[in-house]
Structure 1
Amino acid sequence: MKTEFPVIETKRLILREVTTDDANDMLTYLSDENVVKPMGLEPFQTVEDVWDEISWYKSIYEEGTGIRWGITLKDSGKVIGSCGFLNKLTKHYRTEIGYELSKDYWGIGVASEALEAVVKYGYHHLQLERIEALIEPTNIPSQRLVEKQGFIREGLLRHYEYTRGKFDDLYMYSILKGDVNFN
């Protein structure tokens, strides 16, 4: 049985479990081509599409293969994105990190604040040694985001995944526990 879903608080944000009550807020950004294309997804069309995403978040948490927090602003409680781990391999002490954020909040440090908090949570509470980020070569803002957090680009994975009817190359980034300043 899983423990209570952890909540992470930062200066401006509360990272928490999302529920079906958050579906309309989530549809706002998950229906945006600019937000979901780097994730290899088509824009969501309906609240039901979002419910499927919420179900996936719940399933990876219950299975122990990941955890996905809704990014909410302290002042409104509105879900404006998500950040978390997926494809967690406990025996290898590693996981991938993923995130997306409503375009309305790009460029003001929200993604950086959430990413830093989630990375630190992973090292403090999940016994991780390595966190990976897989990013399309054309997604320069995401590359800058992880590099600012201390991730190192290790190389290019050619035709690493098949999404939206094509093969995608992805850069492999990683950060190791010893790379993180826990102050």
Structure 2
Amino acid sequence: MSNYFPIIKTKRLILREIVAEDAGNILKYLSDKEVMKHYGLEPFTTVEDASNEIAWYKSILNEKSGIRWGITLKEQDDIIGSCGFLNRVHNHCRAEIGYELSKDYWGNGIANEALEAVIKYGFTHFNLRRIEALIEPANAASQKLIKKNGFIKEGLLRSYEFTCGKFDDLYMYSLLKQDFDRLQPHEGNI
């Protein structure tokens, strides 16, 4: 583990650093075609694929271009998804947010709980002014989740990414700090 990796606790979750020992759990959900449908990568097939993903998490942390938390339930330590920032641009105070969750946990509000906590952390501790989300038009569930957290659709980025052998259009959503502040209850929250 890193010397300092921030742990975030919510009502039901602990968001923690993802380590090499988590490769098996990551492989379990990132090998699922439904989970990977809008991820921009082919479903994983080996523990090495999962280890490479963990190496990417470590590289963005070391480069200070992002951070990815593993999502765990408080009563167990198995990684069931991840959420975090990538493509952070320090001098413009912005970052992109990304997330995925094991299909076994879809529909329980877990992704929303993790997303809320990570957004709050980004605005509070990283001094972000803007958080962006890039979402495939066919990914209705992710768009619903992002909108629920106050993100606004800004437009369509045509043929924005080349993934899995094809060019993908992506919707650009954003949440600004002042919009986030307006949405927060003002009773002593951090």
Asked if 1:139 is matched to 2:178, the reply is: no
Aligned residue identity for 2:87: N
Instruction: With the length of structure 2 as denominator, give the TM-score of the two structures.
Output: 0.94
User: Hey, what does 1:67 align to over in structure 2?
Assistant: 67
Report deviation, 1:37: 2.2
**For residues 133-179 of structure 1, what are the alpha-carbon distances to aligned partners after superposition, in whole Å with 9 as ceiling and x for unaligned?**
00000000000000000000011000000001111000000000111
User: Hey, what does 1:78 align to over in structure 2?
Assistant: 78
Residue identity over aligned pairs, in percent, reads 65
**For residues 97-130 of structure 1, what are the alpha-carbon distances to aligned partners after superposition, in whole Å with 9 as ceiling and x for unaligned?**
0000000000110000000000000000001000
Distance in 2 between the 1:48 and 1:104 partners? Answer: 23
Distance in 1 between the 2:174 and 2:126 partners? Answer: 16
Moved over 4 A (4+): none
Aligned residue identity for 1:113: E
Please state whether the residue corresponding to 1:39 is helix, strand or coil. coil
Please state whether the residue corresponding to 1:107 is helix, strand or coil. coil
Please state whether the residue corresponding to 2:37 is helix, strand or coil. helix
User: Hey, what does 1:92 align to over in structure 2?
Assistant: 92
Aligned residue identity for 2:138: T
Aligned residue identity for 1:125: H
Aligned residue runs from structure 1 range 14-25, under 5 A: 14-25=14-25
User: Hey, what does 1:46 align to over in structure 2?
Assistant: 46
Aligned residue identity for 2:81: G
**For residues 65-106 of structure 1, what are the alpha-carbon distances to aligned partners after superposition, in whole Å with 9 as ceiling and x for unaligned?**
000000001011110000000000001000000000000000
Paired residues, number: 182
Please state whether the residue corresponding to 1:95 is helix, strand or coil. strand
